[in-house]
Amino acid sequence: MNSMIYLIAAAAGFGVTALLGRWLIPFLHKLRFGQTIREIGPSWHKNKQGTPTMGGLLFIIGITVAMGVCVPLGRSAGLFDTSLTQVRVFGGLLMALAYGAIGFMDDYIGIVKKRNLGLTELQKLVLQFAVAAAYLASLALAGDDTATAIPFLGKIDLGPGYYILAAVLLVGLTNAVNFTDGIDGLNTTVTFFAFLSMALCAGMLSMTGLSALGIASASACIGFLVWNFHPAKVFMGDTGSLFLGGMVGALAFGLDMPILLLPIGLVYWAEILSVVLQVSYFKATHGKRLFKMSPIHHHFEMSGWSEVKICGVFGFVSLLGGAMAFCCVLWGV
């Protein structure tokens, strides 16, 4: 039964996402939901002006449909027999959808105003923390505690401070994934390996429902790459990148091992850290820059790397991080 659920999750996640692009991308063109390219970005990105954005709707729909097909089979097999299991799977999906909704608002406002700005930073942070708080509250109400599993060390109870740390981690991760979206195929490639590694970890821990969610998400990323690989025919927008960030966080917390986000999110952390370092160095030196451009993928782009090369190298780093996480779970639990 598990193999059938995994197969359906993979087929539906990829199939719905890839096929939906044939209809949704022309529809976004018709609505003139084109990306506005930032003036401070690489000059050659101006060629991408007008490429449809909000394409994250493709994999959001694909993942949701895939899980909708898998749920009846899972219920018949008794995979969602506890409230905590249900929250870890369905609550995690709802959290990702809520983050996607925040991204949708941001994209839509930016499109209406014809500039690459939507919600203010404060508005986004307030909404993101509210979603994180709701998700963590649902876990607590379902019976989850403040202890978290750390490979090789076992369960460690962090007390009430766990919720503060968890909320900051979820919001930070979501924004880090958002920063990773900047060139064709990059975020999708990196996040594919993140989803795949967590799906394997969940399967090894006999968390079939969570593993199916990871497989559906990984397959949907491949389906989106059909349209997002260089030269991209559609961008995911904040709609997609915030959803992906929420889903990565949901899988890690569903595994009860958010510590795995350290190796799995190597690329994400490098991206957001490069922005923090660039801004801090610029202010401290009154105008000097540490990188040619941030986030870090633009630094390599400005150094002459092609978008395909950046995707390949960053994807390989994500693969290594995922392999590290899998080994930690394999030998450390």
- Read off the pLDDT of residues 166-222 as tens digits, 9 standing for 90 and up: 999 999 999 999 999 989 999 999 999 999 999 999 999 989 999 999 999 999 999
Provide the residue count of the chain: 333
Q: Is the pLDDT of residue 66 over 60?
A: yes
With 0-12 / 13-18 / 19 or more C-beta atoms within 10 angstroms meaning exposed / middle / buried, residue 3 is exposed
Q: Mean of the pLDDT values across residues 239-260?
A: 96
C-alpha count within 13 angstroms, C-beta hemisphere, residue 70: 33
DSSP 21-66: HHHHHHHHHHHT-BPPPPTTS-GGGGGGTT-B--TTHHHHHHHHHH
For the chain, percent of residues with pLDDT exceeding 90: 71
Residues 6+ apart with CB under 8 A from 95: 131, 132, 134, 135, 246, 249, 250
The rounded mean pLDDT for the chain is: 90
Two structure tokens written together for 126:
């307030």
Confidence of residue 2 (pLDDT cuts 50, 70, 90): confident
Distance separating alpha carbons of residues 35 and 50, to the nearest angstrom: 5
Report CA torsion sign: 131, 188, 64, 107. Answer: positive
Q: Mean of the pLDDT values across residues 62-85?
A: 82
* Contact (CB, 8 A) for 261 and 206: no
The β-bridge partners of 52 are 34
3-class secondary-structure state, position 304: coil
Q: What is the helix (H) or strand (E) element at residue 149, kind and residue range?
A: strand 147-150
Number of domains in the chain: 1
Q: Is the pLDDT of residue 100 over 90?
A: yes
Confidence of residue 331 (pLDDT cuts 50, 70, 90): confident
Task: Please give the pLDDT value at position 6.
Answer: 93
DSSP 218-287: HHHHHHHHHHHSSSPS---HHHHHHHHHHHHHHHHHHTT-GGGHHHHTHHHHHHHHHHHHHHHHHHHTTS
Among residues 195, 313, 321, which one has the least CA distance to residue 265? 321
* Contact (CB, 8 A) for 307 and 230: yes
Q: Mean of the pLDDT values across residues 105-113?
A: 83
Two structure tokens written together for 28:
């976004």
Two structure tokens written together for 84:
């905590």
Domain that holds residue 216: 2-332
Distance separating alpha carbons of residues 248 and 265, to the nearest angstrom: 9
3-class secondary-structure state, position 155: strand
Distance separating alpha carbons of residues 292 and 304, to the nearest angstrom: 11
Confidence of residue 119 (pLDDT cuts 50, 70, 90): confident
Residues 6+ apart with CB under 8 A from 181: 187, 235, 236, 240, 241
Comparison of pLDDT for 84 and 49, the residue scoring more: 84
Among residues 166, 165, 189, which one has the least CA distance to residue 177? 189
Number of Cβ within a 10 Å radius of residue 276: 10
